[in-house]
Structure 1
């Protein structure tokens, strides 16, 4: 039975990889592989805040976008990703998701993963604990309603990112108890600061040269990011980077576990 199960998992992984790399346009960046993330194994990832990150190889990157949806710029981001056959993860805020449900559904329909980013983007360390939980729950429910038409605090994709990367032990433990992975990042474009698309590209490229891989944070509501993205995708392609697409693990079909970072338990907390 173990051999059969392993064969089935391998077949599923092969199918996902084939779907990820299939692109009708020659010379595009594409998506090199799909990584199924198990929140029980990787409850908190991203070296900005945590000691552990995703098991990426050298020159592998994960593209993530926060704070959408915002149709004027999110549509441009989606167009740039589509042109290069690249799939990303969007951490959506609940209020704009409820205002623009058609954009939420478009993001999912184009093959991207949808995570959660609270209801109003309030910093949870600056509000009461009960308000922090409500901020998380209402945000998840709004996105799930926009996406599936069902109000629930159990996300279809159990990926979450805290606004400003700021969390509390209580909110971290709450999400872990619900089987929701918390994402930080490994590098970012600092696109919350005003700069030209060219300046942003140079900053991000310089950071990537040092990091060589990792979870990248961008913001799709930022006009400068939407303008910069086509050039950044070309940069990734020209410099032989590979894009990894994140999806939640399928229940009852877990692959062999990937060993956590040396010396760390998958649930070890950072002080």
Structure 2
């Protein structure tokens, strides 16, 4: 008897309608703050403290192997009301993988995030924003919506707190999706920049949301 087919994951999406979301609606002064590559035992608690201080809700795109290694941090992020999303298992260049390998990267991460939070992730971000057609197909099959960004302060390169802050404040506009990182190395500049630019954006009348 042949092995039963694997169950469809959380309802497949139409690939033709599954283009990466790079901006929210420009109606109203609303932004989305996104945090990639964690969780990290040094950086993530510092980021959470800043978000808590200013009452900002963010979307954390988590690397599956980091989530598995830091389950209490995953739960802490969820408990504070932030949105948890999929950023692959090992942060590879998806363009170099087969469809089966891409599926494994995404599915394994979905499984660990759902196990730790009780909720399946609904959004996915490709490492580096590299949206190969195979990645879109796998996203669609797993019921994950792809999200990009519109404001990249390149904090991953550690250009300095002032540079990160200036780039965000200069580029942001209603509907922006802002990219930051809490994993992948020392993110003290990112944490300091969040402390600097979040109160400025709030004073400008912006509110923060996690995409549905």
Give yes or no for TM over 0.5. yes
Whether contact under 8 Å (1:46, 1:185) holds in the other structure is yes
**Counterpart for residue 265 of structure 1:** none
State which of 70, 94, 102 in structure 2 corresponds to 1:132: 102
Aligned position for 1:44 = 19
Paired residue total: 196
**Structure 1 gaps, min length 5:** 1-38, 48-52, 149-154, 248-271
Contact persistence 1:42–1:54 (CA under 8 A): no
Counterpart for residue 216 of structure 1: 178
Task: Assess if the C-alpha contact under 8 Å between 1:46 and 1:186 holds in 2.
Answer: no
Partner of 2:120: 156
Bigger-Rg structure (1/2)? 1
- Give matches, 1:175-254, under 5 Å: 175-208=139-172, 211-221=173-183, 222-247=187-212
Pair 1:81–1:66, CA change in 2 (3 A): same
**Cα separation, 2, equivalents of 1:107 and 1:100:** 11
What does residue range 1-271 of structure 1 map to in structure 2 within 5 Å?
43-47=18-22, 53-148=23-118, 156-208=120-172, 211-221=173-183, 222-247=187-212
**TM-score, normalised relative to structure 2:** 0.84
- Kindly report the root-mean-square deviation, in angstroms, between the aligned alpha carbons of the 2 structures: 2.0
**Contact 1:120–1:139 (Cα < 8 Å) also in 2:** no
Deviations 1:134-185 (A, max 9, x none): 111122222223333xxxxxx6231111111112212202212332111011
Show CA shifts across 1:92-121 (max 9, x none): 000010000000000000000100000000
Give the direction of change, closer, same or farther, for the CA distance of 1:122–1:109 in structure 2 (3 Å limit): same
> Shift in Å at residue 58 of structure 1?
4.5
| TM-score calculated relative to the size of structure 1 | 0.67
- Determine helix, strand or coil for the equivalent of 2:155: coil
Q: Distance in 2 between matches of 1:241 and 1:192?
A: 24
Q: CA deviation at 1:238?
A: 2.0
Q: Which runs of 5+ in 2 are unaligned?
A: 1-12
SS at match of 1:115: strand
| 8 Å Cα contact 2:110-2:120 kept in structure 1 | no
Distance 1:56 1:108, change over 3 A: farther
